[in-house]
Structure 1
Amino acid sequence: MLSFTFEHSLLIANPAAHSGKGAEALTTIRQYFDQHTERTPPHIVLTQGPHEAERLVAKAARYDSVIALGGDGIVHEIVAGLMQLPRDHRPALGLIPMGSGNDFARSIGMYINKPINALQQLYASTVKLIDLGEVKTDFGEHACFIETLSFGTDAAIGLDTIKRREEHTSARGAHLFATSGLRLIATGRNGIVCNVSIDHQPPHRYPILIFAVQNGPTYGGGFRICPKAHIDDGKLDTCFNVKYANIPHFLQLFCFARFGGHARSHTVHLQRLEHLEADFLGIKPPCQVDGEPLVGSRFTVDVLPHELSILSPSEPKRYR
């Protein structure tokens, strides 16, 4: 039995997602509704450039739901738009994942790059509240994140994967993240000094190489950097190195992180939290928030518990 309809839904599609496969997926979705005339299709809008999805969503209060067709980038834009609306007027977020990384899709168990399977999951979905993360910087920048925030080498890797996708590399997902990582790890081998305070405790100084704050467990197309993270537990999770790691050890940790094996190392620290402060002592480290660059040298991070409604599949796909 269907528990959801698209009658009052806005579908925002990024046709360029996944090297143009977003456009193919949209054609497939339209053909589905042409063949199932008894089902009301959503109102469909295509994005033409950066931040257009955010602007569209900021005016979407009359809809019950906003469906993102694309990758993590369009999800981030739509979340930014939703957060501009009053909480009691925000549509629920739905997802038809058609990207390279798709980490938020993994967190909620949506089928990836299979638009009809994802559409069927939406039909059987229920509304669920999830957490968000919020980050502010000393440069006046501010963003909410639905999956990941990172600093240092792993942020540089994440930003490099975006650049390579724009250059039409054939690598995708975890393979893309891994190949960027192998190339960039040596450049960050000395780390960046950072004072870290968690939940208002006194700060400690670390030689940061990897530093992630997660809402969900993965980044980089499936790397389980915070394997025990949950998007609806009222907490964020962090993983950062507390000791210097030489290049061979760092490469080993990087490989182990694909399936969460790095969590057993004494070199890294994992912790659940509600509030975090990171001070890089005047240095502007590489920083990414859901794949978008963020500028600052001091960062304040907070969890926003149960802040956003999503369309959650009743039969989520399990990812390792």
Structure 2
Amino acid sequence: MTAQHILLILNPVSGKMKSRSGLFDILDELYHLPDGTPASDRRVTVCTTLYRGHATELASAAVAEGYDRVLCCGGDGTLNEVLNGLMHIPPENRPTLGYIPAGSTNDFAASIGLPSALRAAARVAGGKESFPLDIGEFCPTDGGNQRFFSYIASFGAFTETSYATSQTAKNVMGHVAYVLGGIRAIANIAPCHLIVEMSDGTRLEGEYVFGAMSNTTSAGGMVKLPPDRVSLTDGELEVFLIRKPRTPSELNRINGSLLASNYSDNPMIDFLHAKHARFTFPEPTVWSLDGEEAAGGSVVDIYCHPGAVSLIREG
């Protein structure tokens, strides 16, 4: 039997330094799986990232270097880099992806139910069960770079809370680091005039303080979407928009919906689904892709690539 060749891409400075201190635990799990797979049937190569974008380079070369599975150990930002590397490999050759979350918030991991403990997550990543994950593509038409994302592209109130928080603060406070500025931002942020045109013909226009196109039930620890209205495999992304509150009553209504994760019958929040959406702003707008800052133009197209990556999950 040909040994499985696994590439483990590890960010040694993500989160609470779990990646570095837990490496031996991870390898122990990968070589001693509960299904009885002999250690001789797999070979694991560990590559630590050295600079921004390094994980993308490593992942994009995976097939050429003989790997048939890529594991990512780090936070959501590291996963985003790995994902961008894999998406540049032809679909028929694209390796299976496993994720061992070791960041400060790990929103995506929480959304798909991955364990937070390194050993348990490594056990899942070394398993055999996978599912076809939809992937988003972010395409500014007049500035910025095309990128892929695993779970969210967003702008506005909660977006700045994520990428403006230092790595040290994220490590120490975790979710709290994202939440501290988010609530205040709804009332204080300057709104942007936005037009959104979706693939089904829906058109929205108004003054918005937050917007996102996502494939997750948890965004930045602030916005929780009801699991019964989110599917990671339906070929669509969720469109979530918050309008600018003009009165204390409107602000309270927004906060109430966010706390309850109930967005029905709230005229201040638009919650829809789309295969593609175009966002048009009066001027170039800064976005966040999986928690990392990204430059966007005044017009941004976002597409869903159905089932683009096979992601390992607990069986």
**TM-score, normalized by length of structure 2?**
0.87
- Corresponding residue of 1:317: none
Alignment-mate amino acid for residue 240 of structure 1: L
Distance in 1, Cα, partners of 2:195 & 2:223: 25
- Corresponding residue of 2:57: 55
- Corresponding residue of 1:120: 123
Residue pair 1:10, 1:45 contacting (<8 A) in 2 also: yes
Cα offsets for 1:149-180 (capped at 9, x unmatched): 111212222222xx33245662102x222112
How far apart are residue 109 of structure 1 and its match? 1.5
Residue pair 1:196, 1:206 contacting (<8 A) in 2 also: no
Corresponding residue SS for 2:84: helix
Cα offsets for 1:37-88 (capped at 9, x unmatched): 9524521111112111100111101211100011101100000000111111
How far apart are residue 252 of structure 1 and its match? 6.0
| Matches for 1:172-187 after TM superposition, within 5 Å | 172-173=174-175, 175-187=176-188
Q: How many residues align?
A: 304
Alignment match of 2:14 (pick from 3, 13, 17): 17
How far apart are residue 186 of structure 1 and its match? 4.2
Residue pair 1:108, 1:313 contacting (<8 A) in 2 also: no
Change (3 A) 1:265 1:203: closer
Corresponding residue SS for 1:180: helix
- Corresponding residue of 1:194: 194
Corresponding residue SS for 2:166: helix
Residue pair 1:153, 1:286 contacting (<8 A) in 2 also: no
Change (3 A) 1:75 1:136: same
How far apart are residue 183 of structure 1 and its match? 4.6
- Corresponding residue of 2:24: 27
Listed as ranges, the gaps of 5+ residues in structure 2 are none
| Matches for 1:240-259 after TM superposition, within 5 Å | 240-242=241-243, 244-246=245-247, 249-250=250-251, 253-254=254-255, 256-257=257-258
| Matches for 1:230-245 after TM superposition, within 5 Å | 230-242=231-243, 244-245=245-246
- Which shifted more, 129-138 or 164-173? 164-173
Residue pair 1:194, 1:279 contacting (<8 A) in 2 also: yes
Alignment-mate amino acid for residue 253 of structure 1: I
- Corresponding residue of 1:299: 300
Matched, 1:80 2:84: yes
**TM-score, normalized by length of structure 1?**
0.85
| Matches for 1:159-178 after TM superposition, within 5 Å | 159-160=163-164, 163-167=165-169, 170-173=172-175, 175-178=176-179
Residue pair 2:170, 2:177 contacting (<8 A) in 1 also: no
